[in-house]
Structure formats: C-alpha cells, structure tokens
Amino acid sequence: METMEENRMKKSIRDYETVALDDENSAVVIIDQTKLPGTTQIISLRTGEEIWEAIYLLKVRGAPAIGVTAAFGIYLLAKQTEADDFETFYQEFRRQKEYLDSARPTAVNLSWALNRMEQVCLANQEKTVKEIKALLKEEAVRIKEEDIQVCKAIGENGLSLVKPGDGILTHCNAGQLAACKYGTATAPIYLGEERGYHFRVFADETRPLLQGARLTAYELFSSGVDVTLICDNMSGMVMKNGWVNAVFVGCDRVAANGDTANKIGTSVVAAVAKRYHVPFYICAPTSTIDMNTPTGAEITIEQRPAHEVTDMWYQEPMAPEGVKVFNPAFDVTDHDLIAGIVTEYGVAREPYTESLQEIFRKKQDAMKKQEKQGKSRV
C-alpha cells in the first residue's frame, strides 16, 4: 500500500492496471478506487461476494472497467465449478451471472459483458466443461483487449473535434481508472497530450462521491496534463468566461434516441453548455449503446445510500440528523443537449435514431471484414 507522495515518486497512477486477471491465483486484481488519491491499494477479488461488493461499493467503477471485471469474475467463478456435465455447469453459471448482474442496474456494460460470456457457454454446449472454461477465459481476455482498442479509437475520433490549446471540461471520471487504458472521455485528452496539443482541462469535483476530484484530477495531474479542479457549480462561470471550448463526458447507457445516463450532474453541465454555445460530447463505446432502450425515460436510475451525501467525506455529519436525502447515482441528459456521441466507429449526431443505427452498421461491416481476414490467414 502506497501513500500519494510515495506513489508520485515512483510512478503515475496510469502505470497501474485498472483491472487484471491473476489466473494462477484465481483472482481479479483491481485498484481500490475508494482509497484514491491518498492510497494506492491493489486488491484481489476471489469470491462472487467480493466481486459483487467491489462493483457495488465503487471499488471498481466506470462502465468499461465494470464490464471487464464482470467478464474476469464470471470466468473465475465458472472455473471453480466442479460440475462435469453441461446442464449442471450452466445452471451454476446462470446463478452467478444473475448475482453479479444485480450489483449496478444502470451501467449496461455489466450485463453486456456477462451476456457475452454466457453466449460462449451456449454456443459450445457440445464441448466438455473443461473446454468451455478455457473458452470463457479467452473471451474475457478478448473483452479487455478490445476495450483498450476501443478507447483509443474513441480518442482519435474525439480529437478530431478539438484543436491544440483548447479548454476541455469533463465531469466525473471517464478516464483510465474507468477503463483499461486511455478511458473514454479522457482518451482525446491523453492522445492530445502525447501529440503536443497542450489542452487546458477543467475537472468537475462531482458530488457526492467526488470522482472528478479524487480520480480525474488525480490521474490527469499525475500524467502531466494541465488540469484545474472546480466545484460542480462553477462550470457555468468557466464556460461564460470563454475558457471551455468543448465538454467531453462518458456515460453508462445510451438509449436508442440518443438520451444518455451518466453520473449525476451531467445533465446540468449539458444544459449550461447549451446556454453558452459550448459543444457537449458523450464518449461511449458501442457496448454502452442500448438499442433496446427507446429513450432515457426507460433507464433504471440507481439510488445510493444517504450517508454518501450527509457524512461520507466529513469528520462529523454536515446535515441535520434524520433529514431526507435524495441520492440518485445518475441522471439522464436529453439528446437535444448533446452535440455528438463519440464512438469507436465515428461520431453520431442528430437524429440519433438514424445515426446510431449507422454506427452499428459500420461495426457489423468491420466485424465481417475482420472475420474474412481471419479466414484468409487460415
């Protein structure tokens, strides 16, 4: 376990893997993000309860990172199953899958990754359980590798929307700590930094869990990015002053009409950006786009415990005992406030019901091309 100063002397937080598989010791290895920025604590998750709790308590968070954790987790839980016939094995797999899926209802990547792992089971019923376990590991590793490639592609597409020296505002943490590398909303920032763009970044603190202060400001600052931390209610001032040229945020679910669910406060940033004519962009891998959810109104919004607002960051409670607390983890940003949704296959724009379909057509074409190339190499 390292303190902030010890960590800074040794390496950047970006030198650590957000999520890793320790197959030899049957563990998912993560950074405990509830301890950042003061302490960098690497923890190993071995049981279904430990994995579920890590996701629910935000020890691992961010849609892509949650998906990778779920994929590694369900593989390890399946590996531990002693059943040698498919039906018994699959019943246990389903039980564990449904349990993990209940940890965070809003982040679609959780169910997306678990469903993808389940398809490996269903598509290989004729194989032995041992062979299915090996295929599950391959798929989980592939999900992580794809996440890195996807985030870089999002970064390239996002970088095309800004110019060197621009001011960028971001909310919550959609950085490397929310993914496996680059992040989503920070991917254009990191790629720009590598290429000498010298962006000026403003990071909202993001109440009540302070992901912007504890995580985004920390990882950008430790990476040498020019970052300024602001309170959530300061975004209007920095935009009015002309210091912000674009807003990049991540999201946990995109509906078919372009409505997006992201960390609470995102819709406020979007509304303020609209007022001051600052383009507001959602950075989302296609795995986060849920075409089966028509609009944001159908997205389940997770409710968090009251103590996160009243006492979590204070030596003593900062609210009267017994006061009612409304603490939704996310809000929905209406599609008409969004200038574009940046994906690994391009930037979708209004009308999103059409452009998101086009994004998925590009994805299907790319997958078919990869499949043909694979067959030709064989």
**Which domains, and CATH codes, for the chain?**
2-151 (1.20.120.420), 156-375 (3.40.50.10470)
CB 339 within 8 A of CB 280: yes
Nearest residue to 148 via CA among 190, 116, 114, 193: 190
Known catalytic residue at 15: no
Distance CA 94, CA 358 (A): 33
pLDDT at site 2: 53
CB 155 within 8 A of CB 188: yes
pTM score, whole prediction? 0.89
Identify the active-site residue in 204, 252, 290, 331: 252
Distance CA 279, CA 66 (A): 28
> Mind listing the pLDDT tens digit of every residue in the chain (378 residues)?
555 445 444 568 888 999 999 999 999 999 999 999 999 999 999 999 999 999 999 999 998 999 999 999 999 999 999 999 999 999 999 999 999 999 998 778 999 999 999 999 999 999 999 999 999 999 999 999 999 999 999 999 999 999 999 999 999 999 999 999 999 999 999 999 999 999 999 999 999 999 999 999 999 999 999 999 999 999 999 999 999 999 999 999 999 999 999 999 999 999 999 999 999 999 999 999 999 999 999 999 999 999 999 999 899 999 999 999 999 999 999 999 999 999 999 999 999 999 999 999 999 999 998 877 766 554
Cβ neighbours of 342 (radius 10 Å): 29
Residues 6+ apart with CB under 8 A from 205: 212, 213, 229, 230, 231, 232
Distance CA 140, CA 117 (A): 7
Cβ neighbours of 185 (radius 10 Å): 31
